[in-house]
Amino acid sequence: MMDIMQLSEDTYRIDDDRVRFFVLEGTDKAIMIDSSMNNPNAIEGARKVTDKPLEIVNTHADRDHIAGNGAFEKMYMSPAEQPVYRENGGKGIIIPVKEGDIIDLGNRPLEVIDIPGHTPGSIALLDINNRVLYSGDTVQSGIIFMFGKHRNMDTFIESLKKLEKMSDRFDLIYPSHDRCPVKPDIIPKLIEGAEQVRAGKTEGREMDLFGNKVVMYRFEYAGFFCEP
């Protein structure tokens, strides 16, 4: 079930099961950031809040972010994410976006920031004028999936460090899972946790997650599911 909440005059979050996507409006057009886990009709949620021309950008192509992509012919995405998108059954034409590109909704520029690690083509979007960062799964207070084929803890940590360096450009972070918003001060905590995990300095707990054997590292502010 799609649960629509207005965050500001021209910004909405739509929560669907354990993930959320966003609808942002500018003066010329609107955009969906991701398209839900279970909802091929996610676009109908967006249509309830905007009648502007509607585009879509994906923070990454894990299955819980692309269910409603089929309603679009074209989607903005990092070209590095294409293999993940196709593996997960994603269709349509990818409009490649990379570091520093601007998607302008009309008086509302969104800056693309490459943040590989969670997936090879993960991106964040900086809503420059509103000082909000849309972080996908990379920055969040939930347990971040870092097991399986496309994950890379080293590049994940580098991406977090890059976001930390530019954190004077945003006041709030809107992630795809768990609490929303979170504050930028979660970023150094995630870096510390991820570095502890990488160095084997913290105790995890083996468990079964949807049929995958994983190790869960739980910190006070967030956590990681990693390869055993």
Which residue, 47 or 63, has its beta carbon nearer to Zn ion?
63
Interacting span for Zn ion (CB under 5 A) from 20-28, 64-72, 124-132, 164-172:
64-72
Name the minimum Å distance from CB 34 to Zn ion: 8
- Contact assessment for residue 116 and residue 152, using Cβ atoms and an 8 Å cutoff: yes
What's the min distance (Å) between Cβ of 95 and Zn ion? Answer: 21
Taking the complex as a whole, the smallest distance from the CB of residue 19 to Zn ion amounts, in Å, to: 5
Listing from the earlier edge strand, what are the strands of the sheet with 2-8? 2-8, 11-16, 19-25, 30-33, 54-57, 74-77, 93-96
Site for Zn ion in 176-205 (CB under 5 A): none
- Residue entry with tokens 């996507």: 21
Q: Which CB sits closer to Zn ion, 10 or 34? A: 34
Q: Which two tokens stand for residue 126?
A: 């900086």
Residue 201's contacts (CB-CB under 8 Å, 6 or more residues apart) are none
Task: Tell me whether residue 10 or residue 64 sits nearer to Zn ion (CB atom).
Answer: 64
Q: Work out how close the CB of 88 gets to Zn ion at its nearest, in angstroms, rounded to a whole number.
A: 12
- Residue 127 or 137 having the CB closest to Zn ion: 137
- Count of residues in contact with Zn ion, rule CB under 5 A: 2
The Cα 121–Cα 82 span in angstroms is 8
x/- binding map, residues 21-60, to Zn ion, per CB under 5 A?
Answer: ----------------------------------------
Closest to Zn ion by CB, 11 or 59:
59
Q: How far is the CB of 176 from Zn ion (least distance, A)?
A: 5
Q: Which of positions 102-161 make contact with Zn ion (CB under 5 A)? A: 137
Q: Which residue type, as a one-letter code, is found at position 192?
A: E
Decide: is 64 part of the binding site for Zn ion (CB under 5 A): yes
Shortest spacing between CB 199 and Zn ion, in angstroms: 26
Residue number with CB closer to Zn ion (11 or 176): 176
Q: Give the interface with Zn ion as residue ranges (CB under 5 A).
A: 64, 137
